[in-house]
Amino acid sequence: MNRKMTYIFYSIIFVITVFGNAGAQTDYSDMANWACHPDKIGTLIDGYDLSIAVIDRDLSTKQRIEVDNNAMNDTGVDVFFVHPTVLQNIFSYTERENIPIEEQPGFLVTATVVGQAGLLAQFGRLFAPRYRQATPPVFIGSPLDEQQAEVIGVAYDDVRNAFLNYLEHQNNGNKVILAAHSQGSYLLSMLLRDIFDNDEALMDKLAVAVVAGMAAVYDESDTSGWWENISLCTNIDQCRCVMTWRCYKEGQTISDILPSHPAQNQSLVDDGLVYAAFDRTAGSLFQDSLYYGIDQSYVDNYLTLNIGLPIDSDAGFVAFDSFYHIRYQRQSERSVGFTVDYEPDEEDLRPHLLAEEETNPTFGQMGYHRRDYNIYGWALIEQIKAKLSLCVSSSTSTSEAADIEYSWFITPNPVGDIMTFRCNGHLPDHTVLFIFDLSGQLVLQQPVRDDMAISLSNLPSGTYIVKVLDSAKRIVISR
């Protein structure tokens, strides 16, 4: 049965039951079935302080970053977040099944949403549905059979119907940031394939889709992968694209795609939830490498909720800047991710928060999986800011951006006082380079030509975003 269908009104889609064996549909007009929703007053995100205390080596607050909480405010941009697997005694589940919403730990689900997606609420209203979660054996060690597809289908039905409810009753023409983690990323990937991949009107609403913490299946040959028309983001300010990453410890073997990865299940392909079954013998996996590249650099602002930390601050979030090292690694065609390194420093009193993950039974295979948003959250936010400010209001499509006949780069990076701008191909006349600090303030504006030296001596050390025409790159000034 193919799930793809032609439709005119979203309200018609909303009442269709796609899987006959899914039982009664979850009612998303009932606020009890949302972890976060602007019409649901009194959730953890409602009124939560999103400010960030950047903590120095001596545990003092070096900087306080004020962040507006727009989880309940219509800014013209909405965030739709699908949470990961959140179940009590997660390792006790041995059957492939769906867990009813009323049997799930509701507060823990909401707290997980706030911990991972709370800071995304600075961009607009936060919608986070609860759903009939599939148990871990569905994704780890499962045969690629019809039962796997059916259990995943029940969870996906909920996410799909929640999104269509939002689309019909709440969207009102707003742009949408889709985000998820782990199991949620599998389900969000299905949503992208099912209702976005071949719908230009919906694609125009999409600011970016974030599918973190899983092996994102995308093959540049276009013959094996999750989506047919949706690409991974190739520029920091590109919209209508997918961002994905996963994190491991430096020196750890990055895991290959799991034999039970649902994008290899032909039943899900037949149901229209995967474009083409991934070939684990020949396919390739990809992930973000725009903000952090192959050269090791410091993690910008490792983020965590301000809970149980020896920090004298009332901020809702805490950030450790320049504490961990990070780099992008490809160990094989199907083993790719960020690797994170910690170098002990007796004078640095900030706690090594990733150490507890190394005791997790899944660490050997999944690395710092549960901390993907803590590690990459700041880089994600900075890139979303670039997307919203530089391209959301633009009518330029990703296909048009791909037709540009030049590319540019800067060297060295990190840079001291002088950087060199270089361009491959024809750079349009009167091109101007802009440099922004991480608050979005323009700090340098300079006409450029190929092989041009640019002085940065008036800028303090730190991380900046360099923009030229329609693309942006990250640089670090270090002296």
Interval 40-90: pLDDT, tens: 999 999 999 999 999 999 999 999 999 999 999 999 999 999 999 999 988
User: For the chain, which domains are there?
Assistant: 10-390 (no CATH), 404-477 (2.60.40.3080)
**What is the rounded average pLDDT for all residues in the chain?**
88
Mind listing the pLDDT tens digit for each residue in 418-476?
999 988 777 777 788 889 887 777 899 888 888 899 999 999 988 888 888 767 777 88
Beta-bridged to residue 212, according to DSSP, are 181
Among 77, 158, 120, CA closest to 373: 120
Q: Is the pLDDT of residue 163 over 80?
A: yes
Structure tokens belonging to residue 365: 């295979």
Check whether 141 has a pLDDT greater than 60.
yes
What is the SS3 string spanning 214-268? CCCEECCCCCCECCCCCEECCCCCCCCEEECCCEEECCCCCCCCCCCCHHHCHHH
pLDDT at 238: 86
pLDDT of residue 3: 46
In angstroms, the Cα distances linking 435 to 264, 454, 467 are 43, 11, 6
User: What's the pLDDT at 219?
Assistant: 59
Least-confidence region, from 81-95, 210-224, 292-306: 210-224
Q: With a cut of 80, say whether residue 269 has pLDDT above it.
A: yes
